[in-house]
Homo-oligomer: A and B are copies of this chain.
Amino acid sequence: MGRIRHQDLRNSPACPVEGTLELIGGKWKGVILYHLIQQGTLRFNELRRKMNVTQRMLTNQLRELETSGLIDRKVYAEVPPKVEYSLTERGRSLEPIILALKRWGDDNILAIGYVAPGTC
């Protein structure tokens, strides 16, 4: 996913834009962050039920967010397993950006020509 290639970081005062986008730009990362902002803490399958995504992809995206230091993964030694995800402080610092993305999308995406088939 958003592995940053070093070349991206050269030659451009704008690269932080690029870098930030790579961190939150994976197929499901924005949505995961959004849900965690709304709910605070969510278990794996709670997240899964909110987003039509396979286990594999969800695990994958969560791991990358964790590696980036944006979310926290708390495992309870129980059976059946229980794992809770929440935002780290750094993750929370993205809140204004995520919410701005959502607001902009609400205001503009339909106008641009994408049509939601059912509900959105």
Contact = CB atoms under 8 A, between A and B. Distances in A.
A112 B6 CA distance: 14
Contacts of A21: 21, 24-25, 30, 101
Q: Is the interface of A mostly helix, strand, loop or mixed?
A: helix
Nearest to A109: B19
Contacts of A100: 96-97, 100
A105 B35 contact: no
A12 B14 CA distance: 31
A118 interface: yes
Interface residues of A, number: 53
Interface string A25-54: 100101101110000000000000011100
Interface of A: 4, 6-7, 9-12, 14-21, 23-25, 28, 30-31, 33-35, 50-52, 68-69, 90, 93-94, 96-98, 100-109, 111-112, 114, 116-120
